[in-house]
Amino acid sequence: MQSTKLVKQLMGCPSMSLDEISELLGVSARTARAYVHDTNASLEGIATIRFSRRASGYRLEVSDAARLDAWLARMAPLEGADDADVHQERVDYLLNDLLSRNDWVTLADLASVLYVTPQRVSRDLKDVEAELARFGLSIEKRPRYGIRVAGEEMARRLCLASLASRATLSDLLGAKGEESQELLGTVTRCLEDVVEREGFPIGSLAFQNLAVHVYVALVRIRENCYVPMDATNFERIQGSTEYQVASEVACAIERETGITLPDVEVAYIAIHLAGKKTLNSLVFDGAAEDSSEGSGVISDGVWDVVSRMLDCVAEQFKFDFRQDLELRMNLARHLVPLSVRLKYHMRVENPILSDIRTRFPLAYSMALESGKVLEDTWGSFPSEEETGFIAMAFALALERQRTEMPKKNILVVCASGRGSARLLEARYRREFGDLIGSCTACDVASIGSVDFSTIDYVFTTVPLPHPVPVPVREVTYFLDSAEAAHIKQILGGSRDAQGSFRELDERMFFPHLACSSKEEVMGFLCDRVEEHRQVDADFREKIARREEAAPTGCGNLVAMPHPIEAVSDETFVCIGLLDHPVVWDDRGTEVQAVFLIFFSRASNFEQGDFFSQLADLFMNEEAMRTVIKHQDWQTFMSEFEGGR
């Protein structure tokens, strides 16, 4: 931490000039003065850093050496951490303190505990308020009284549990050290015993999260803070399987800790059990409860929601999954616990969210669009983390249909008579039979009489005398292993007859852009798209809607914006490489390579290869660094094709 570094340096020397302090802390002179000011506020009554004209520099004047040693000892755990780490530690502490108390507290009191100025606490509160807002909480302010958290008890607990799960606090929710570990251990043992005895289906990560939520509930109950629940909601929950399991958990906890959980707190545990249950049976779903217990039966209500989600995707993206039973079942099973999380505003972590958004942009857009159906049904739009899990179901369906895509019909052309053409045809059938639907042969003289309406590709050993309406690939008569592998790529992917991806076009590649903002670069690329491609008139609005739903920066200085729904009859990419990075979102993500992606309205499952390879490039830090450094088409294609 900068304050301790400065104090320790001044303790070992007579004085330091402002330039020396700036060099020590690695900041500007103005920022160095600010650090001196903040350190003095933290050391009030202990020591003072004062400028001495005689020494031509800053000196440390100690008024209480014992308290200074104690101050250094208290600050030691933060030493070595950078400013961002220290700031996050303060934010976590403030969240914990404010959520755990019901009374008012002043900024001065909080500042004295954290050894910073009230102004620093005030700045930290901006991030505190942003975190609270995720759970529907806010900070209430009152002159002369101070501040406190305003919001429902359940929301407080959800936020506390999220904080506790990060495991960044040494003083966890008010329970000290060994005591907190002992209580958490007791909760874990009770849950393990009941879950195993009852055969309740729950994953390991969800179990750990459940243990933290129950732990937080016990801490709050000790402080006489209970979750309110209306009678109708309680009666519905009381009749569920999860409530019976929660009752067993409550009894076990009471035996071990002596803490009695009232019925509403048992219902609270039941809600969390339902939200974390693996995808088997229904919860809190009226008529379905009697018949679905343990059987995996999907209620009509959930099935209808899935149908509306698939209708939405079919309408907006022209991918019709409505006959895909496996996708229907995957979504339906996922919606059962998800519906509980949406109803009660429970949050879930998704450790692979960034990878999902990067690797499966089309599937993520489908999940975002279908999220409107979930909001209409359960009153809450899925978070980015939940959207990522839904996207996985769509990505699996896309991949399944891509690998099961129709076989290609090919025409084999040879220079001489039909006999040699037939030999070549037999070779292609033997080599590529699993990828070929029909394979016909002719000599070059007969090419003019061929009906190309059912032909996908032409492979010829000689140049054709005139153009044909399908892709053409020139091959040798005797296929070697490299050429055979190349042809398999053509037949199995979205590359054209020259082995290139049709989605990439040098005319849509724009290097060395001097744009200074996200809006400027997006405006430039959208203008170029309008000049070179046929897209819907409202495509800019649909790109903006996608960015509002979730920013598309994906690391390694890359962003991949795209419309929230299909606006073109073809899939293509417009690429912009900037001379200097621009800030892409509120999180401060920097971007220097922008890939503006447009999905085809047609259901083209062959796009999977292209997006998979594009994602490999995005996540390859060295390759993207090379692309951004050289900023030319040949280098880009070389790095892109390097992932094949």
Please indicate whether residue 354 or residue 534 has the higher confidence score (pLDDT): 534
The CATH number of residue 484's host domain is 3.40.50.2300
- Please report which confidence band the pLDDT of residue 564 belongs to, taking 50, 70 and 90 as the band edges: confident
Query: In the predicted model, is pLDDT for residue 39 greater than 80?
Result: yes
- Please report which confidence band the pLDDT of residue 418 belongs to, taking 50, 70 and 90 as the band edges: low
The reply to whether 192 and 116 lie within a common domain is no
Strand partners, 148: 140
Specify if 107 maps to a domain. yes
The reply to whether 371 and 443 lie within a common domain is no
pLDDT at 632: 94
Contact yes or no for 336/279 (Cβ under 8 A): yes
The CATH number of residue 69's host domain is 1.10.10.10
Highest mean pLDDT among 78-87, 470-479, 581-590, 625-634: 625-634
What's the average model confidence in pLDDT over 289-303?
55
Query: In the predicted model, is pLDDT for residue 598 greater than 70?
Result: yes
Burial of 360 (0-12, 13-18, 19+ CB in 10 A): buried
Specify if 433 maps to a domain. yes
Please state, in angstroms and rounded to a whole number, the distance separating the CA atoms of residues 402 and 18. Answer: 64
Query: In the predicted model, is pLDDT for residue 578 greater than 90?
Result: yes
Please state, in angstroms and rounded to a whole number, the distance separating the CA atoms of residues 315 and 319. Answer: 8
Task: Name the residue range of residue 6's domain.
Answer: 2-78
**What H or E segment, with its residue span, contains residue 458?**
strand 457-460
Query: In the predicted model, is pLDDT for residue 524 greater than 80?
Result: yes
Please indicate whether residue 590 or residue 298 has the higher confidence score (pLDDT): 590
**Over the chain, what is the mean pLDDT?**
81
The reply to whether 74 and 92 lie within a common domain is no
- Two tokens, residue 37: 């000011």
Specify if 74 maps to a domain. yes
Query: In the predicted model, is pLDDT for residue 288 greater than 60?
Result: no
- Two tokens, residue 18: 């402002």
**What is the pTM (predicted TM-score) of this model?**
0.58
Specify if 25 maps to a domain. yes
- Two tokens, residue 189: 């043992």
pLDDT at 499: 42
The reply to whether 511 and 636 lie within a common domain is yes
DSSP letter at 16 equals B
pLDDT at 446: 83
Given 53, 78, 103, the domain boundary residue is 78
Name 19's Cβ contacts closer than 8 Å, sequence gap at least 6: 29
Query: In the predicted model, is pLDDT for residue 392 greater than 70?
Result: yes
The reply to whether 121 and 192 lie within a common domain is no
The reply to whether 34 and 120 lie within a common domain is no
Tens digits of residue pLDDT in 16-38? 998 888 888 777 788 788 888 88
The reply to whether 236 and 323 lie within a common domain is no
pLDDT at 300: 81
Query: In the predicted model, is pLDDT for residue 11 greater than 90?
Result: no
- Please report which confidence band the pLDDT of residue 612 belongs to, taking 50, 70 and 90 as the band edges: low
Burial of 548 (0-12, 13-18, 19+ CB in 10 A): exposed
Specify if 427 maps to a domain. yes
Query: In the predicted model, is pLDDT for residue 421 greater than 70?
Result: no
pLDDT at 431: 75
**What H or E segment, with its residue span, contains residue 590?**
strand 590-598
Out of 419-423, 462-466, 581-585, 609-613, least confident range: 419-423
Tens digits of residue pLDDT in 615-627? 778 878 899 999 9
Tens digits of residue pLDDT in 255-274? 998 888 988 899 888 888 88
pLDDT at 283: 35
Q: How many domains does the chain have?
A: 6
Tens digits of residue pLDDT in 72-120? 877 765 555 455 567 788 888 899 889 888 889 999 888 877 767 788 8
Please indicate whether residue 464 or residue 429 has the higher confidence score (pLDDT): 464
Given 78, 99, 117, the domain boundary residue is 78
The reply to whether 255 and 366 lie within a common domain is no
Specify if 168 maps to a domain. no
The reply to whether 136 and 55 lie within a common domain is no
The reply to whether 427 and 470 lie within a common domain is yes
What's the average model confidence in pLDDT over 168-176?
44
The reply to whether 620 and 515 lie within a common domain is yes
- Please report which confidence band the pLDDT of residue 502 belongs to, taking 50, 70 and 90 as the band edges: confident
pLDDT at 292: 37
DSSP codes, 165-216: HTT--SEETTEEHHHHHHHHHHHHHHHHHHHHHHT--B-HHHHHHHHHHHHH
- Please report which confidence band the pLDDT of residue 174 belongs to, taking 50, 70 and 90 as the band edges: very low
DSSP letter at 508 equals G
pLDDT at 182: 83
How many Cα atoms occupy the beta-carbon half-sphere of 513 within 13 Å?
26
CA distances 169 to 83, 172, 283, 332, Å, are 17, 6, 34, 38
- Please report which confidence band the pLDDT of residue 527 belongs to, taking 50, 70 and 90 as the band edges: very high
The reply to whether 546 and 511 lie within a common domain is yes
CA distances 151 to 155, 172, 270, 430, Å, are 7, 21, 22, 70
Tens digits of residue pLDDT in 205-255? 678 778 888 888 888 888 888 888 877 778 878 878 888 899 999 999 999
Give the residue carrying structure tokens 């545990």: 269
- Two tokens, residue 80: 């070595």
Given 450, 465, 492, the domain boundary residue is 492
- Please report which confidence band the pLDDT of residue 164 belongs to, taking 50, 70 and 90 as the band edges: confident
Specify if 401 maps to a domain. no
The CATH number of residue 632's host domain is 3.40.930.10
Specify if 286 maps to a domain. no
Please indicate whether residue 295 or residue 437 has the higher confidence score (pLDDT): 437
What's the average model confidence in pLDDT over 321-333?
86
The CATH number of residue 224's host domain is 1.10.1790.10
